[in-house]
């Protein structure tokens, strides 16, 4: 099973999917604060 993450945002007052990443693919969000999410790292027990 591969880890995955779906990010949603509210740019127009409604929830919209803004990204869908899997495995080792990083996603960089800027709002509400800068963060990079790598789904596989969420399950591997390591710290960023």
**For residue 22, is it within any domain?**
yes
Checking if the pLDDT of 1 tops 60, the result is no
Q: Is the pTM of the predicted complex or chain greater than 0.95?
A: no
**For residue 48, is it within any domain?**
no
Helix/strand/coil for 40: helix
What CA–CA distance (Å, rounded) separates 48 from 30?
A: 17
pLDDT at residue 26, as a whole number: 92
**For residue 27, is it within any domain?**
yes
User: At CB < 8 A and 24+ separation, what contacts does 16-21 make?
Assistant: none
pLDDT top residue among 45 and 39: 39
Helix/strand/coil for 39: helix
Overall domain count for the chain:
1
* Residue 37 belongs to domain spanning: 4-43
pLDDT at residue 44, as a whole number: 78
> Could you report the per-residue pLDDT of 3-39, keeping only the tens digit for each?
667 767 776 778 878 888 888 999 998 878 899 988 8
**For residue 29, is it within any domain?**
yes
**For residue 13, is it within any domain?**
yes
pLDDT at residue 4, as a whole number: 65
**For residue 23, is it within any domain?**
yes
């Amino acid at each position: 099973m591969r880890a995955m993450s779906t990010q949603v945002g509210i740019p127009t007052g409604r929830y919209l999917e803004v990204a869908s990443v899997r495995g080792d693919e990083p996603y960089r969000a800027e709002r509400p604060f800068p963060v990079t999410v790598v789904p596989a790292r969420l399950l591997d027990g390591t710290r960023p």
